Structures are given as C-alpha cells and as structure tokens.
Amino acid sequence: MKTNCLSCKYYKIKDTQSGLCRMEALTSGNREAKKPKVDAEDHCEKWINCGQTYYIRLGWIKSNSPEAEKE
C-alpha cells in the first residue's frame, strides 16, 4: 500500500483522482472545519492507514474510471 491520501484515514474520495482531506474536521471535532481538496497521490505527515478502505476506494476508482465505461 502506498502512503498517499488515497490510503489515508482522513481522505474522502470525490472522484477518481481527488478528494477532500478531513483531517482537521475529524481531529478537532469541528464539523465546520475546512476540508481542503487534495490529490489522491498527495500525502502529508498526518497520514494514517485507512486499512481495508483503501481497497474499497481502489475498486470504486476502477469502476468509475473512463476505461471502465468503454467496456
């Protein structure tokens, strides 16, 4: 598993390449905290392994990628 936003507990997937970082919202308990847009391949020092969720995200990306629509 790569250490990137896609495999991070704080990531919320939005499309096949990007999502939102919920680190501040989840660690502060402030639901109004900013959730900046991040690239799936980005990463930072706050990264935490999301475990099995990573494979669920990979499956979602695969089924929503342009290549999948051609099949």
Residue 16 DSSP code: S
Residue with tokens 């342009």: 66
- Indicate the helix (H) or strand (E) that contains 37: strand 37-39
Q: Pick the piece of the chain touching ligand SF4 (CB under 6 A) from 43-51, 53-61, 62-70.
A: 43-51
SS (H, E, C) 48-59: CECCCHHHHHHH
User: For the window 10-29, what string marks contact with ligand SF4 as x by the rule CB under 6 A?
Assistant: xx---------x-x------
Does 58 participate in binding ligand SF4 (rule CB under 6 A)? Answer: no
**Near ligand SF4 by CB under 6 A: residue from 16, 26, 35, 43:** 43
